[in-house]
Structures are given as C-alpha cells and as structure tokens.
C-alpha cells in the first residue's frame, strides 16, 4: 500500500505504527488493533489521547490506552463466556485499504484481518476511516454483506489525557446511567459531573457534543450513530490490579466512549456508521 508523504511506518516491539504528520496535526495509528494511539493538533500542540506507560506492545494483548476498537460486541459477550470482552478486532493486525491527502488533512482507511469470529453470527465487513486534520475524525463502518439483517454492538473506547482526574469535569450528559459498579442500577447523572471513585457507567443518551475539562485543557468529543456514552475510570485499586496500568495511572486518564450497547440492526447491504470527532 502506497502511503502519502505525511505518513511513515515505525515499529514498536512487535507492532507497526503509522506515524502521520501533516500541516494540521500529528497522529499515530497502530496496525495492531486499528488502534489510534496519539492525536496532537498543531494549533495547540496538546496531546488529546492517553496511553498507559505500562501498555504492552506485544501484538497479543489489546493496547491499554488510545482508542481501542470494540466490535462486534461491547463488554462481555452476552452468552459466550469463552470469547474475549469487547470483541475480537482489537487484537488483530489490520490492513491499510487507502491513504489520501486532502485540503483538510490525511485520510486513511483500514480493515481488520477478518470481520468474522467466534461469538458473531453476522456476515459483515468492518472498516475504520480516520481523518487526521485540525480535528480527528473516526468512523467505524459496518456493512451487512449477508442475506439477513444483523445486529451488533461496538465502541470507540477512547482514553483521553487529562492533567488530574480530581480536577476533571465532563460536560454534556444529563440523563440517567446504568452503573456497572453498583449492579447496573440506574442513577441520575451528577451535576457537575466530577470523579472521586471507580466509574463504569453506560449513559443511555446520545449527546452530540461533550467537553472534558481539567481546569487547564479542554477536549471536545462529538459523536453520531451511537446509543450510549460509556464513561470509565478504574480508580486506584483496579489500576493497581491491572498489569498494564501504573498504580496511579487512573489519575491522568478518562475514557469517554462513543458506543452502541443496545444492539444496532443493519439491514442487508446497508452500512451503519459510528462516528467520533475529537478536537
Ligand atoms: C469499559 C468497560 O468500557 O472498558 C469496563 O465498561 C472495562 O467494564 C473497561 O473494565 C476496560 O476493559 P478492558 O477489556 O480493556 O480491560
């Protein structure tokens, strides 16, 4: 695959990474997982994404941080306990389908080695379209190639970099959420939305715009094609228990995930698009 002038391939341990540097931003996309690792717009030179210093780049375990691609299910599989959480594409090696320079940045399209796997009955093609410009635009496109409707779940499981979780506020959510840390009970979203404990919440609303602020920096997240926003921070005890997180890793990250958690139907020959735009 011919890459454009803005893109080079670097290797980190067992993983190949596309390094993009154009007039608008720099970014990194790991071919393992189709996983975006970095996005730094040039207008403020501020890294939007967080990657754990202890993340593994062994080409086996999903990378802790960046934007893992969860597909075709989210979280644990509904009925099959033998398959991995968050689906099977975040641990595959992806291929580049196209790469193009435009007036607004660099566009790269990727696909996983295979969109088929244990735990998913549908006949689908997943592609990931990434545009690196002043904003980072990511589209997960799911096309139904089969002869019956299919249903899937997914997430752009974005880890955002913040200076201090204890100063962080998330703006733009206002309805109820299901709390995984409290037996999936429903609660009202706190106002202001701040963080002081393990947080693992599925917000059943589709806000178009969210802002993450830590008092110093602001990151804007716009989403379409989703039914939920998932907010996750493992906090201290869980960070300590996770081999690929530093003990205090939770202090400088917040996951705000554009997700489908209640099943998106895709009709035969149709394509459903889940989009997240980060600026
Ligand atoms: C979140 C889930 O989306 O991802 C959490 O809501 C989960 O329950 C977290 O712990 C991290 O998942 P994983 O598989 O990458 O460790």
d(CA 120, CA 77) in angstroms, rounded, equals 10
pLDDT at 118: 97
pLDDT in tens, 42-53: 999 999 999 999
Residues 29, 35, 41: CA angle, nearest 5 degrees? 50
Average pLDDT, the chain: 97
Nearest atom in ligand 1 to the alpha carbon of residue 64 is: 15
Q: Mutation test of ligand 1: which of 35, 65, 85 has the most ligand atoms closer than 8 Å to its C-beta?
A: 85
Q: Enumerate residues lining ligand 1, CB below 6 A.
A: 62, 75, 85-86, 157, 180, 200, 230, 232, 257
Residues 133, 218, 275: CA angle, nearest 5 degrees? 50
pLDDT in tens, 100-138: 999 999 999 999 999 999 999 999 999 999 999 999 999
* Residue 93 reports pLDDT greater than 70: yes
- Ligand 1 centroid, distance to 140 Cα (angstroms): 19
Nearest atom in ligand 1 to the alpha carbon of residue 234 is: 10
Q: Mutation test of ligand 1: which of 52, 157, 181, 239 has the most ligand atoms closer than 8 Å to its C-beta?
A: 157
Any idea where the domains of the chain sit in the sequence?
7-278
d(CA 156, CA 131) in angstroms, rounded, equals 15
Residue bearing tokens 């917040």: 254
pTM (whole model) above 0.85: yes
Nearest atom in ligand 1 to the alpha carbon of residue 157 is: 3
pLDDT at 2: 79
Q: Describe the strand order of the beta sheet including 105-112 as a list of residue ranges.
A: 94-102, 105-112, 124-132, 136-144, 271-278, 218-224, 209-213, 169-171
Q: Mutation test of ligand 1: which of 66, 200, 249 has the most ligand atoms closer than 8 Å to its C-beta?
A: 200
d(CA 250, CA 161) in angstroms, rounded, equals 10
Give 1's pLDDT tier (boundaries 50, 70, 90).
low
CATH 2.70.98.10 fits 7-278, yes or no: yes
Percent of the chain's residues with pLDDT above 90: 98
Residue bearing tokens 């644990």: 76
101 half-sphere exposure, CB direction, 13 A CA radius:
12
């Amino acid at each position: 695959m011919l890459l454009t002038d803005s893109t080079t391939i670097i290797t980190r341990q067992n993983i190949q990474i596309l390094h993009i540097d154009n007039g608008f931003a720099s970014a990194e996309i790991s071919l393992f997982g189709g996983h975006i690792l970095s996005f730094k717009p040039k207008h403020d030179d501020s890294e939007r994404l967080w990657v754990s210093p202890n993340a593994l780049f062994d080409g086996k375990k999903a990378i802790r941080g960046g934007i893992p691609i969860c597909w075709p299910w989210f979280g644990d599989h509904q009925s099959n306990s033998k398959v991995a959480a968050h689906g099977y594409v975040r641990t595959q090696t992806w291929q580049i389908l196209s790469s193009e320079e435009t007036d607004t940045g660099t566009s790269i399209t990727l696909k996983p080695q295979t969109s088929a796997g244990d735990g998913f009955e549908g006949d689908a093609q997943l592609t990931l379209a990434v545009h690196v410009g002043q904003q980072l635009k990511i589209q997960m496109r799911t096309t139904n190639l089969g002869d019956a409707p299919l249903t899937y779940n997914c997430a752009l499981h974005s880890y955002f970099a913040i200076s201090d979780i204890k100063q962080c506020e998330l703006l733009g959510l206002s309805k109820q959420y299901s709390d995984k840390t409290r037996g999936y009970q429903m609660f009202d979203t706190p106002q202001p939305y701040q963080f002081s404990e393990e947080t693992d919440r599925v917000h059943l609303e589709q806000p178009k715009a969210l802002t993450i602020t830590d008092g110093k920096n602001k990151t804007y997240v716009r989403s379409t094609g989703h039914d939920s926003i998932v907010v996750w921070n493992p906090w201290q005890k869980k960070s300590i228990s996770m081999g690929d997180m530093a003990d205090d890793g939770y202090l400088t990250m917040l996951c705000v995930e554009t997700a489908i958690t209640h099943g998106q139907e895709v009709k035969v020959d149709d394509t459903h698009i889940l989009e997240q735009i980060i600026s």
